Structure 1
Amino acid sequence: MSTDTHRLPIYSVELFPPKTAEGMEKLKREIARINSVGPRYFSVTYGAGGSTRERTFETVDWLCGQGIDTAPHLACIGSTRDEVRDILTRYRDQGIRRLVALRGDMPSGMGGGHGGDFRYANELVSFVRAEFGETFFIEVAAYPEYHPQSGSPARDLANFKRKVAAGADGAITQYFYNADAYFGFVETCLRAGLDLPIVPGIMPISNYTQLARFSDACGAEIPRWVRRRLEGYGDDVESIRAFGHEVVLNLCRQLIDGGVPGLHFYTMNQSKPVLRLWEELGLPTPG
C-alpha cells in the first residue's frame, strides 16, 4: 500500500486500554481533548498474549463509533492464525484500514515456549498480506537504539528488514531522547535500501520514576545529563514536568527541522502534556 507515503507529515497518538469502567470514562474525556487538535489517528495497544484483548476491542469500538480514525495494535505471540484472522476480519468490517503489527511480549506463565503460530512480527505481517492483501496500511516497530533482545544493531536491522520485506508500509519507533540516534538509524536504513516512512515515537516526561522503569525495561536511553537533572528534582513534580517538557519540545523541534514524516505521541492516556507540545510546536489543527 502507498497510503500516506511521501505526503504531509502525520501526527498521531497512542492510548492503552483502561482496566476499569471508571478508567474508560476518564479515557473518553482525555480522547475528546486530544481529538480537538485533530491527530491523524489514535493507536490502541494490545496486552501480552492478548491479555487486554477485550479492553482493546472495547476502546477500538468506541473510537470507531465516534468516527475517529483508529489503528489497533496487534501482537501475535501466543496467538493462532485463526484467532488473528478473526480479529483482522472484525477490524476490516469496522472500516479500520491501519494496523500496528507487533510480535508482543510473552504473557506470564507461558514458560519458554512461544505458543501459538507466530514467533516474530515479520510472520504476522506476511500473514496479514497473504490473507487480506492491501486492505491494511501496516506499521511495524523500529528501534533507533536497537531492541535489547536483538543483541546488536546489526541483528536488529536484519529483523527490521524482514518486517519490511514481508510487506510493512511504515514504522513507528520506540521513544528516544537523542535525535542523532533517530537520524542515524534512518540513514542506516536508507543505505540498506529501506525507504519507508519511519515516524519517531515521542514520550512526554511527567513522571521520572515511571519513565526510568520503562526505559530500563525496553532499552530506551535517557541521556545522562537528563537523568541527573530529573533525579536532582527529587519529588518536585512541577519542576520535573517543566524540565521534561523543554527536553521533549526541543527534541521534537530537532526532528521536525530534520524533515521527519510525522510524530507519534505516547500519551499514557494523559492529554495535557501532548496538547501543550502540540500547541507550542504549532502542529496543524482542524480549521
Structure 2
Amino acid sequence: MTRISYEFFPPKSLEASFRLWDTIHTLAPTAPDFVSVTYGAGGTTRKLTHEAVTTINRATGLRVAAHLTCVDATRAETLEIARSYADAGITDIVALRGDMPGGGAFVPHPEGFASSVELIGALAATGRFTLRAGAYPDRHPEAPSADADVAFLKRKLDAGAAEAITQFFFEAETFLRFRDRCAAAGIDSPIVPGILPIENWTGVAKFARSCGTAIPAWLEDAFAAARRDGRSDLLATALCTEMCSDLLDEGVDALHFYTLNKPHLTRDVIHALGLAPDPALEKVA
C-alpha cells in the first residue's frame, strides 16, 4: 500500500486560515499517513507553526509532524519547543537546518545547533520523537558535491532520523538516480520523494532556481505552450500523475506532496493514481 503525506504552511492571516482549513478538509478524505507544517525562514512562523500543528491534531485527529529548525534559537529554546510538542501529543518532527531570513549563508546561533545532524541527535536522545530529515536529489546549493550531499544525509539518518523526505524535482529519473547513490553509500532507511504539483509555473521555476533544482528545457517549453492555450492546470496534473506513476512502478511506496495550501491539483493527482477513491466517480457509478 502506498503511503501518502502532505505538507502545509501555517496561515498568517484570516483569509489564509480559511485556505488552510479548506486544504485540510479537501485532502483529509484521502487518509494521509501524516501531514506536516512548515517553519518559516529564521523561525519567523515559530508560534504560528505551533498553533497550526496543535490545532490540526486536536481538530482533525490527523497525525501531524512539526517542522523544527536550527535557526535563530539556542539549543535550550529549540528543545523546549520540541518538549511542548511532545507534551501536546505531537511526536513527529521534520528536523531541518533551516534557512536564514533574507537568504545568505547559514550562521548558527552562538548557543544553538550548528547543523541538522546535531539537532536530530539531540531530539533522538530524548526518545520521544519519530524524526524525518531533508534530502536533495539535485545537489544542495551549499554542498561541494552530490556525493557530499549523500554522505551528509547518511549522517542525519545515523543520528536518529527514521526516514528522509526529498526536495522536489521534475523528472522521476532524478529521484531514482539519487536513490541508487544512497543505496551505494549504504543507506537503507526509507527515502520519500517530495512531489510539487505545479500550480504556478513562473513561481515554481523561480523557486527551483533558488534551491538548485534542475529544470529540464522541455518543461519550460511545455508550460509556455500550455499557458498560451490556457491548459496549464491540465498539463500540471498530467505531468505530476505520470511522474508519480513512474515512481510507483519503480518500487516507491510513499509520496510526500508539497501542497502550498492549494489542494486541488494534489487531490486530482491522488485520484488519478487510484490512491484514494474519487467521490465524483463513485456517484456516477
Q: When the two structures are superposed, what TM-score results if normalisation uses the length of structure 1?
A: 0.91
Structure 1 pair 154/109, CA: closer, same or farther in 2 (3 Å)? closer
Structure 1 pair 285/81, CA: closer, same or farther in 2 (3 Å)? farther
Structure 1 pair 98/247, CA: closer, same or farther in 2 (3 Å)? same
Unaligned runs of 5+ in 1: 1-7
Shift of 1:241: 1.3
In the alignment, the residues of structure 1 paired with residue 18 and residue 54 of structure 2 have an alpha-carbon distance, to the nearest angstrom, of 14
In the alignment, the residues of structure 2 paired with residue 209 and residue 110 of structure 1 have an alpha-carbon distance, to the nearest angstrom, of 23
In the alignment, the residues of structure 2 paired with residue 146 and residue 79 of structure 1 have an alpha-carbon distance, to the nearest angstrom, of 27
CA contact under 8 A between 1:197 and 1:261: conserved in structure 2? no
Shift of 1:199: 0.5
CA contact under 8 A between 1:74 and 1:102: conserved in structure 2? yes
In the alignment, the residues of structure 1 paired with residue 215 and residue 58 of structure 2 have an alpha-carbon distance, to the nearest angstrom, of 38
CA contact under 8 A between 1:78 and 1:118: conserved in structure 2? no
Aligned to 1:244: 236
Structure 2 counterpart SS, 1:36: helix
Unaligned runs of 5+ in 2: 279-285
In the alignment, the residues of structure 1 paired with residue 18 and residue 102 of structure 2 have an alpha-carbon distance, to the nearest angstrom, of 28
Structure 2 counterpart SS, 1:59: helix
Of 100, 113, 116, 1:118 maps to: 113
Shift of 1:151: 2.6
Letter in 1 for 2:97: R
Superposed structure 1 runs of 4+ greater than 6 Å apart = 109-112
Aligned to 1:3: none
Root mean square deviation of aligned Cα: 2.0
Shift of 1:99: 1.0
Structure 1 pair 220/109, CA: closer, same or farther in 2 (3 Å)? closer
Shift of 1:278: 0.7
Aligned residue-pair number: 277
Matching of residue 74 in structure 1 with residue 68 in structure 2 = yes
Please give the per-residue CA displacement for 1:52-89, whole angstroms capped at 9, x wherever unaligned. 11111121121011212100111112221111111111
In the alignment, the residues of structure 2 paired with residue 46 and residue 63 of structure 1 have an alpha-carbon distance, to the nearest angstrom, of 15
In the alignment, the residues of structure 2 paired with residue 110 and residue 271 of structure 1 have an alpha-carbon distance, to the nearest angstrom, of 31
Matching of residue 60 in structure 1 with residue 56 in structure 2 = no
In the alignment, the residues of structure 2 paired with residue 235 and residue 212 of structure 1 have an alpha-carbon distance, to the nearest angstrom, of 17
Aligned to 2:283: none
Q: When the two structures are superposed, what TM-score results if normalisation uses the length of structure 2?
A: 0.92
1:121-136 aligned within 5 A:
121-130=116-125, 132-133=126-127, 135-136=128-129
Shift of 1:110: 9.1
Shift of 1:111: 8.2
